[in-house]
Amino acid sequence: MALAAWEKGLGSLPPLRPKQNPVLPVAGERNVLITSALPYVNNVPHLGNIIGCVLSADVFARYSRLRQWNTLYLCGTDEYGTATETKAMEEGLTPQEICDKYHVIHADIYRWFNISFDIFGRTTTPQQTEITQDIFQRLWDRGFVLQDTVEQLRCEHCARFLADRFVEGVCPFCGYEEARGDQCDKCGKLINAIELKKPQCKVCRSCPVVKSSRHLFLDLPKLEDRLEKWLEKTLPGSDWTPNSRFIIRSWLRDGLKPRCITRDLKWGTPVPLKGFEDKVFYVWFDATFGYLSITANYTDQWERWWKNPEQVDLYQFMAKDNVPFHGLVFPCSVLGAEDNYTLVSHLIATEYLNYEDGKFSKSRGVGVFGDMAQDTGIPSDIWRFYLLYIRPEGQDSAFSWTDMLLKNNSELLNNLGNFINRAGMFVSKFFGGYVPEMVLTSNDQRLLAHVALELQHYHQLLEKVRIRDALRSILTISRHGNQYIQVNEPWKRIKGSEADRQRAGTVTGLAVNIAALLAIMLQPYMPTVSSMIAAQLQLPPPACSILPTDFLCTLPAGHQIGTISPLFQKLENEQIESLRQRFGGGQLEESLALKAKVSPKPAIVETVTIARPQQIQVLMDEVTKQGNIVRELKAQKADKNQVAAEVAKLLDLKKQLALAEGKPLETPKGKKKK
């Protein structure tokens, strides 16, 4: 079977789907709608936020497009609520100015990470107000909204009622000391802020008082039966992750309770009801409607996606703390609105990503945040690869600098990069840049079957949104390729008899075709590296746009490839150790200590202190470039004097980088004199 598929070649690929603008559902096709949980606009996302939402969704969106499914991928900043109001106060700006500022920061970060949104929007739009008020009005008319007086925490010092996320205290259920006013991050239980023990205002740290205020509630108990029936129909055969199923079931087991959907704020969607003019909707009631309003900003035909459950497959990506709102509050709201809304088919929730031995903390300078990753000198595809490799699919995982170095140097450099580079180099060096004739033996056919099986496994995993496991299939195919080259030794056979040279050609041709397959399999994970391989191998356009279900002969005999060059660079221990210290917290103290320690050389200290981030970035780029020049010269066995001159330049650049990072200069380890 593998041989038959191989022989069909590119001719067996389906025709390329014509591009639409805007992308709209097509009758009779698979229409895939993908959302990432909307990030709060008032903070810079850290690596955990990025892998939990946008990066995971991006891999699936790219895969979906490669399968020729009609795909729309959207996200945007969640901009209403107290968090924004408070951030605006801190920075002396209006809430709208804060939203404008941070929306650009978010968009830039996701652009650098190569996230392929069809639209990256925001929730502060007229469409958001219109859609939210319409859903609310329908719920109100159908008797799914209650009124009640609520006892709330009010900070007299700040002269405001405190939104849930701006109260912190001891969880009444598990005793966790940093529980928020809406939810405990440790036990996961929902909390009413007045239930917290030892509550504190997060803004001024004073103890708030309890006061009364009239509010509106979504009558979840009245909607519970509808939700249960929908879940019974949806969950079997769907790809809801185990944690999302468990969280929703635990909520239903405890029985749903009315949920407050209004707040005493100014910054939010106004409540269109007499007597509630001074209130806005609770951000977690209307934030999920942001998906609808962002689509409405993308196309006025948004209802073809969002009121079309028969034709649209909705995938929603998030971290597990967002599950109750996407799997319960949002479905109850639109089921009660009775307007044929599209509901989530596949709810994909990750566990948490920790940083080294603890948690990410912007205030303590611990962990890598999205805007900082760009300044490390490590390309975005390497970040993507490592975050996806450690994606917290079944349990919490941790980002580790040492592990990142190991995975880059072993899996990318020595396994994947080594194989693809060798396969291409053999074509260039032994066959003048043209793919040689291939006469497959039974052993070669067995390799075809191994690769085909692993490709099938990759598809099965990605169709089930097991993103981390599918990445392992790419690396397994690469290992098969490396082993195949090592066993068959084409570099030796090319010097032998006619039969040996023919065998070298077959091995080289098959290897370069495996490299071509890896290029397209890599595209969802490492789009830039995928494009580099495609350019080096001069892949035909269909081979770059359609992911086959079988292993095909993509590069037939006579196909001319381009110039081959290394895909990955080695990460050095010193470089990684420097980054670990830089993102480990306490940078200010380290900087002051450094200044005192090297006071005899004030000029150097001054340079380090003033231009540190920019200087380090420039020097890292220079070191990387120079390292590539040295590697290339060594690979080409260039003149020793030329190599020595370039190595001297590299060592000098490394010395400058060490000074800029405030590290002690080490004596270079060279060969001992005889």
Per CATH, the number for 414-560 is 1.10.730.10
668 or 567, which is more confident? 567
Choosing among 3.90.650.10, 3.30.300.30, 3.40.718.10, 3.40.50.620, the CATH entry for 1-137+236-350 is 3.40.50.620
Separation of alpha carbons 375 and 354, rounded Å: 21
Percent above pLDDT 90 for the chain: 72
Nearest to 281 by CA among 167, 145, 387, 401: 145
Separation of alpha carbons 622 and 534, rounded Å: 26
Separation of alpha carbons 210 and 151, rounded Å: 6
Q: Is the dihedral of CA 264, 266, 269, 275 positive or negative?
A: positive
Band (pLDDT 50/70/90 cuts) for residue 162 is confident
Residue 292 · residue 302 · CB < 8 Å: yes
Separation of alpha carbons 37 and 317, rounded Å: 6
Collapsing DSSP to helix, strand or coil, 667 comes out as: coil
Residue 515 · residue 420 · CB < 8 Å: yes
Residue 629 reports pLDDT greater than 80:
no
Q: Could you tell me which residues are beta bridge partners of residue 197?
A: 170
Q: Give 264-299 pLDDT, tens digit per residue.
A: 888 999 999 999 998 999 988 999 999 999 999 999
Residue 621 reports pLDDT greater than 70:
no
Separation of alpha carbons 94 and 71, rounded Å: 37
Residue 363 · residue 90 · CB < 8 Å: no
The total number of residues written for the chain in this structure:
674
Cβ burial 548-577 (10 Å sphere, 16+ → b, else e): bebbbbbbeeebebeebebbbbebeeebbe
Rg of the chain taking only CA atoms, in angstroms: 28
Q: How far is CA 498 from the centre of its chain?
A: 50
0.95 surpassed by pTM: no
> Where do the H-state alpha helices sit in 113-261?
126-141, 220-234, 242-254
CATH topology of domain 610-659: Helix Hairpins (1.10.287)
Residue 240 reports pLDDT greater than 60:
yes
Residue 407 reports pLDDT greater than 80:
yes
Band (pLDDT 50/70/90 cuts) for residue 641 is low
* Token pair listed for 664: 């002690």
Q: What is the pLDDT of the chain when averaged over all its residues?
A: 89
Band (pLDDT 50/70/90 cuts) for residue 661 is low
Separation of alpha carbons 525 and 384, rounded Å: 7
Q: Give 412-426 pLDDT, tens digit per residue.
A: 999 999 999 999 999
Residue 78 · residue 39 · CB < 8 Å: yes
Q: Where are the beta strands (DSSP E) in 55-196?
A: 70-77, 119-122, 145-155, 160-161, 167-170, 179-180
Judging by beta carbons within 10 Å of its beta carbon (0-12, 13-18, 19+), is residue 148 exposed, middle or buried?
exposed
Q: Give 166-197 pLDDT, tens digit per residue.
A: 789 999 999 999 898 888 888 888 888 889 99
Q: How far is CA 76 from the centre of its chain?
A: 14
Residue 323 reports pLDDT greater than 50:
yes
Collapsing DSSP to helix, strand or coil, 433 comes out as: coil
74 or 157, which is more confident? 74
The answer for residues whose C-beta is within 8 angstroms of residue 267's C-beta and 6 or more apart is: 80, 81, 82, 84, 85, 88, 95, 280
- Domain limits, the chain: 1-137+236-350, 414-560, 610-659
Judging by beta carbons within 10 Å of its beta carbon (0-12, 13-18, 19+), is residue 595 exposed, middle or buried?
middle
Separation of alpha carbons 518 and 455, rounded Å: 10
Residue 94 · residue 88 · CB < 8 Å: yes
**Residue 435 DSSP symbol:** P
Q: Is the dihedral of CA 51, 54, 57, 62 positive or negative?
A: negative
* Token pair listed for 353: 């990503």
Separation of alpha carbons 92 and 86, rounded Å: 10
Q: Which residue's entry shows tokens 């390799």?
A: 447
* Token pair listed for 257: 């309770």
For residues 10-25, average pLDDT: 91
For residues 72-101, average pLDDT: 92
349's enclosing H/E stretch is strand 346-350
CB atoms inside a 10 Å sphere around CB 381: 22
Q: Where are the beta strands (DSSP E) in 37-126?
A: 70-77, 119-122
Separation of alpha carbons 395 and 373, rounded Å: 24
Separation of alpha carbons 433 and 423, rounded Å: 11
State the distance between the two ends of the chain, measured CA to CA, in whole angstroms: 62
Cβ burial 152-179 (10 Å sphere, 16+ → b, else e): bbbbeebebbbbbbbbbbbbeeeebeeb
Vertex 252: Cα angle to 248 and 257 (nearest 5): 115
For residue 586, the model assigns a pLDDT of: 52
Separation of alpha carbons 432 and 455, rounded Å: 30
Nearest to 51 by CA among 397, 417, 561: 397
Q: Could you tell me which residues are beta bridge partners of residue 398?
A: 354
For residue 635, the model assigns a pLDDT of: 67
For residue 493, the model assigns a pLDDT of: 95
Residue 621 · residue 630 · CB < 8 Å: no
